[in-house]
Structure 1
């Protein structure tokens, strides 16, 4: 048993001695560099798999003044969208339109979009502008009257709807309905500013609550809207829009697959280095199996490699490399003199 252990230990020593030669150390450093690059690419693919994700931000639920997020001639950014805001002013009478094909808890209906003039104009704006307020969702194809007087609207900033073709509405509703009920296909400030002939800010605010002047705002201690908040004249078929934050939590599984693939490449680089080292070791242990040679050969204990004498060339050669002839000749001369 001890003899077997000694043989096994000797073989491990030979492998380690071969692995720590300059050639194999250089190969290992190259493998480490390649594997590091592969791991970095894997990390990049993992990051790419979730780049498009958007999670709900609790800070956006705290109601803040609207002018912090909307400015004239400025587009709505992702950072500013979905914030809950409050604005005090009054609706422009007779400005409302019905925006078709709006769902609410699975029910098909309409948004009531109205023009709203704030009391105060931000200092950065050169002229007064109105806000497009989606003040209600209704299940009926009839326009409710706008609330009168000064009130505070609390709601969420949302982006404009995508463009639409007029024939999409014409296929669902009669010309008389479209005209009499003032139906449009999208809630978009670019279209509404032309319909109302007044300058607007580049976003829509969905009204979750309307509070007449002198009435406490329906906010909790943290400044968040109470679930009991209502709009003026709220009924079962007419109530606040109650928009939620836009979230996107899907994962790109193709990027996950690529990330795993890069890790496999990194592991394969180490395997390839080890396999080449193992093949070199096996060739050194039994060169006659890998080289066409039937004569006598010897082991160079310093390098763990076998060499042989070539009578035609009258020189010593390693089986797998003849670049160290001079070293072998020096060792041969040393043995002969001793």
Structure 2
């Protein structure tokens, strides 16, 4: 195996094995990426009416989808949602408003909009009162659409002054919203707005959904096959070198036997 010839064959075997290992890594990446769900879908912005229909739950693959929509706010219906994490362990209050969609196929539908965050309760109440005293706003909003949270009684009993919720439950909000009309169309989700953040608040931390992956087992099997091929390339070098060594040993033994027979014949003569 230390002879130049077999060292050269080993280098060739290692190059082939490296190629097989690269193909195995590529196949494994394909196995993981083939069924990715999350940011690849949600990070492309769509109009709200292309993602969500009033009265219907949001599809799992669209949770966290970036959307745009035009709305008109309803100042009387601002609420506080407490205990919200805004990243880095900072907790505080969301100011959530009631808006009526004014664009697209769902114009006239009602939408909850989380407009901003503050860690200070007094500031949250001041901003809420200021917004309630303001005129309706026409806003072109962009942000993430998230599903309604389930009401958790008695946590969401509207305790406090002003009333404050712990969960952003649409079922609770609509019981307090005004200007709904006789047969309202209501989105069963809410928008976390990225723009038009009211003065005194900061934008709500709304990262992309956690990347989820499921394994494509067929591609994973192919990846394992390439690993086996890589190992076989090195084993083949070993087997060829050993076979050559064994043939040399056999040839030497045959030569020794032949030499011994010749010597005996000469001795008898």
Q: TM-score range by the shorter chain?
A: 0.5 to 0.7
Alpha-carbon RMSD across the aligned residues, in angstroms, is: 4.8
1:130 corresponds to which of 93, 110, 133: 110
**8 Å CA contact 2:74, 2:99 repeated in 1:** yes
Going from structure 1 to structure 2, the CA distance change for 1:191 and 1:47 (only over 3 Å counts) comes to farther
Q: CA deviation at 1:117?
A: 1.3
- TM-score after normalising by structure 2: 0.59
Aligned pairs for 1:180-219 within 5 A: 180-189=161-170, 192-193=173-174, 196=177, 199-210=185-196
Q: What's 1:100 paired with?
A: 82
Q: Which has the larger radius of gyration?
A: 1
Number of aligned residues:
225
1:117 aligns with 2:100: yes
Going from structure 1 to structure 2, the CA distance change for 1:162 and 1:290 (only over 3 Å counts) comes to farther
1:160 corresponds to which of 147, 152, 155: 147
1:266 corresponds to which of 189, 208, 229: 229
Q: Indicate the structure with greater helix content.
A: 2
Q: Extract unaligned runs of 5+ from structure 2.
A: 214-220, 260-269
- TM-score after normalising by structure 1: 0.49
Q: Extract unaligned runs of 5+ from structure 1.
A: 1-7, 17-27, 211-229, 252-257, 298-338
For 1:105 and 1:116, the matched residues in 2 are separated by 26
Going from structure 1 to structure 2, the CA distance change for 1:104 and 1:88 (only over 3 Å counts) comes to same
Higher relative contact order (CA 8 A, sep 6+): 2
Q: Tell me the alpha carbon deviations over residues 49-87 of structure 1, each in whole angstroms, 9 at most, x when there is no partner.
A: 665774799864xxx754344333362565684425241
**8 Å CA contact 1:66, 1:87 repeated in 2:** no
Aligned pairs for 1:145-156 within 5 A: 145-146=131-132, 147-156=134-143
For 1:248 and 1:290, the matched residues in 2 are separated by 69
Q: What's 1:281 paired with?
A: 244
Q: CA deviation at 1:267?
A: 2.7
184-193 vs 105-114, greater mean Cα deviation: 184-193
Aligned pairs for 1:213-292 within 5 A: 230-231=197-198, 234-235=199-200, 239-246=201-208, 265-287=228-250
Q: CA deviation at 1:269?
A: 0.8
Q: Secondary structure at the match of 1:286?
A: helix
